[in-house]
Amino acid sequence: MMKILFQSITFHRHVARLKWCLILLGMSFTARSTGPLRISLLSCSPGEELYSVFGHSAFRVRDSITGMDKVYNYGTFNFREKNFYLKFMSGKLNYYLSTQGFDDFMADYQAENRAVYEQEFYLSPAQNLDLFRRLELNMAPQNRAYKYDFFWDNCSTRIRDMVESILPNSPLYPTTPPYAFRDYLHKYLIAQPWSQFGIDLILGLPADKITISREAMFLPMEMMNVYDQTQSENQPICTASENILPALPVQYQSGLFHPKWVLLFLLGLTIFVYYFRASSALFNIYANIFLLVTGAGGLVIGFLWFIADHTTTDMNLHFIWANPLCLLYPLRNKLFSSQVLGWLTRTYALLLVFLVFGILFLPQDLPLECIPIWLSLLLIMISELQRLKENK
């Protein structure tokens, strides 16, 4: 009898221990989401304007004790800042961390018909408090500003870096497709072909670097997708993305005013002026305008490469054809002898031929819409060589 009683007591002790183990195990899984502070990632869908077409990211911080519910936004800039446009072009424009009430934030995006998604981070109370304190420290006037970099230091990468800084180990990010930075931009610029064409012209070789998942997080919606599959300490780093503000679908239509059609028309006009010109003076005026515009584009590309602080506009192969030397074309007869002019013209023509036939093999992804421009320039160079030959 005593033996049976002892076995019964032992059994109940084991059951009790098992219950405590299960309770402690449950606490280990739920401790990361307990506490008064809750911190989420807000991911906002792209807008219609160029400055908003890549979406937006922000922190949401809630405190169940004080009732605080506000948004920390690293994507703020000041239009009234002195020399705003020059600083923007030069890559010297400061962006700022700012705060806003959550309701006001949502109202702004609802007015713009932009969706908002939320992912709450699975952080311990201590980590939530640490992250909150760091955000408040960043809000100090001397810390709010930072020099914006489109690929490496923006409203999304700041959030990624902040989350990484409070975790004990690096998160385990998923594998993403082998896309270059430029490929990701194209994904968001389908409805803005002229913006895509212009951005492709000014971005250099750094934009063609193949990204890993962490680098793909420079874009808000891509960061949301990566976090949906990211783990920390063998657990999801956050809740699955939830659409907390739906947006109405927007239909985009592509008309004839598209870079490929406009530039093909330009090539046709160049051919027409070249073969059916009434006089050499008409073609000369046309060629001067064409080369002046090309040279002006070269000035912009050269400025962004050699002078501006942008890291993504360096080593731009468009500088081969869009070169500031083209600005000298209207004065070519006064500046150069026939021999030098012939050498310059043939060199430029050979470079254009190289671009046309090498476009698919170059390390920089050059838009196909450039081919009509290169062919037009090539026709102008052929005409110039013919003129030089006739004047010998």
pLDDT at 169: 93
Quick: pLDDT tens for 348-377: 999 999 999 999 999 999 999 999 999 999
Quick: pLDDT tens for 305-329: 999 999 899 999 999 999 999 999 9
pLDDT at 107: 97
Strand order in the sheet with 56-63: 145-147, 94-101, 69-76, 56-63, 37-44, 116-120, 242-245
Token pair listed for 371:
């081919």
What is the chain's Cα-based Rg?
30
Dump the DSSP string for 266-321: HHHHHHHHHHH-S-HHHHHHHHHHHHHHHHHHHHHHHIIIIIS--SSSSS-GGGGT
Amino acid at 244: I
pLDDT < 70 stretches in the chain: 1-34, 254-255, 277-279
> CB of 386 within 8 A of CB of 345?
no
pLDDT at 30: 38
Neighbours of 392 (CB within 10 A): 6
Token pair listed for 163:
């989350």
Mean per-residue pLDDT over the chain, rounded:
89
Quick: pLDDT tens for 199-252: 999 999 999 999 999 999 999 999 999 999 999 989 999 999 999 999 998 877
pLDDT at 277: 65
pTM recorded for the entire structure = 0.86
